[in-house]
């Protein structure tokens, strides 16, 4: 089952990183962190068996808000530059 919060196109994420002039070495590291991963769970009985994780941005990771901001930055920039008189804010 796929969830909306981790269904991102990694090619678009890479383009977003390039759009903010991220060095290619760092782009490679960040996209490698989000692809072909395995995970296990800590339980009262110890670690579970490893399982494959879908590619994408995980929720509840420390760096996730930054990844989402980078991912949507080109879209936010386009909307802000095309439609004057509107503002985007968060509290």
Residue 86, in any domain of the structure:
no
State the pLDDT at residue 65.
83
Domain that holds residue 54: 4-77
Number of domains in the chain: 1
**Residue 14 domain-assigned?**
yes
The answer to the question of residue 44 being in a domain is yes
Question: Dihedral sign, CA of 56, 62, 63, 68?
Answer: positive
Residue 31: inside a domain: yes
User: What is the pLDDT confidence band of residue 16, given thresholds at 50, 70 and 90?
Assistant: very high
Cα 61 to chain centroid, rounded: 10
Distant-in-sequence, close-in-space partners of 27: CB < 8 Å, separation ≥ 6: 14, 17, 18
- Please check whether residue 85 lies inside any domain of the structure: no
- pLDDT for the residue numbered 52: 84
Q: Report yes or no on 36 lying in a domain.
A: yes
Q: Which of 64, 56, 49 is nearest to 8 (CA)?
A: 56
Residue 58, in any domain of the structure:
yes
Q: For residue range 24-77, list pLDDT tens digits in order.
A: 999 999 888 888 888 888 999 999 999 887 777 766 677 878 888 888 889 888
Assigned domain for 56 exists: yes
């Amino acid at each position: 089952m796929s969830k909306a919060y981790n269904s991102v196109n990694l090619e678009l994420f890479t383009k977003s990183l390039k759009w903010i002039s991220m060095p290619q070495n760092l782009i490679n590291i960040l996209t490698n962190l989000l692809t072909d991963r395995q995970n296990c769970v800590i339980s009262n009985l110890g670690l579970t068996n490893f399982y494959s994780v879908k590619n994408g941005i995980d929720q509840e990771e420390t760096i996730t808000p930054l990844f989402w901001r980078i991912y949507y930055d080109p879209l936010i920039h386009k909307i802000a530059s095309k439609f004057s008189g509107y503002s985007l804010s968060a509290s």
